[in-house]
Structure 1
């Protein structure tokens, strides 16, 4: 399982603040919880996002 990093959201948060040069990242915006998470994409393969009752459960 990948370890997503939680991003603190505010009205002044912009996407450029979460971007790291040279990395491909996956951004998950959770409208139910009002949170955002970011994780680094694998170099090869696929990423599976699993949810339970509308919430983030696991990333593979």
Structure 2
């Protein structure tokens, strides 16, 4: 659900990604590794993108749930 999925990069270094109605998605472009990833943002919470030596390494989610 919140796991990053790698998306294709064209030869001219562009991407094409469909917008899903009703969803907020995050696109991570890593110029060091030449990769692109997309992941869904949680409905309530924070998303932290972590890097190691300048490259995309990890995604952390702090998810909250509304009680009422």
TM-score (norm 2): 0.72
Aligned match of 1:52:
52
Query: Higher relative contact order by CA 8 Å / sep ≥ 6: 1 or 2?
Result: 1
Q: Which has the higher strand share?
A: 2
Larger-Rg structure: 2
| 8 Å Cα contact 2:50/2:57 also seen in 1 | yes
Runs of 4+ off more than 6 Å: none
Give the total of aligned pairs.
58
The runs of 5 or more residues in structure 1 that have no matched partner are none
Aligned match of 2:3:
3
The runs of 5 or more residues in structure 2 that have no matched partner are 61-68
Distance 1:47 1:31 in 2: 20
How far residue 18 of structure 1 moved from its aligned partner, in angstroms, is 3.4
Distance 2:45 2:13 in 1: 34
